[in-house]
Amino acid sequence: DRCIPVDVYIPGCPPRPEALLYGLMRLQDIIMREAPSAYIFESDGSVHRRRSLEGDDELQSISERDLGGVVAPAG
């Protein structure tokens, strides 16, 4: 954890199944607390900008060109 960032530490070598499940549940809790993405990626390949409810200047400064071809065109 000093060279590579660690979100959840699971003890054991190999970890016991209950330790692995506990670690996965802790990771889900961490993910649920994170802020949502600035973009919504649809299954048809379209991308929509999420509105910022808090007026976040950093999110407002991101433009569609910043995606840089991450999403393949639909079709």
The answer to whether position 72 is within a domain reads: no
| Per-position DSSP letters for 14-52, written without gaps between them | SPPHHHHHHHHHHHHHHHHHSPPPSEEE-TTS-EEEPPP
Q: Could you report the per-residue pLDDT of 21-73, keeping only the tens digit for each?
A: 999 999 998 888 877 666 778 888 888 776 655 555 544 444 444 555 454 44
pTM of the model: 0.45
The answer to whether position 45 is within a domain reads: yes
Same domain, 3 and 30: yes
The answer to whether position 11 is within a domain reads: yes
Q: Which residue has the higher pLDDT, 53 or 20?
A: 20
Same domain, 30 and 12: yes
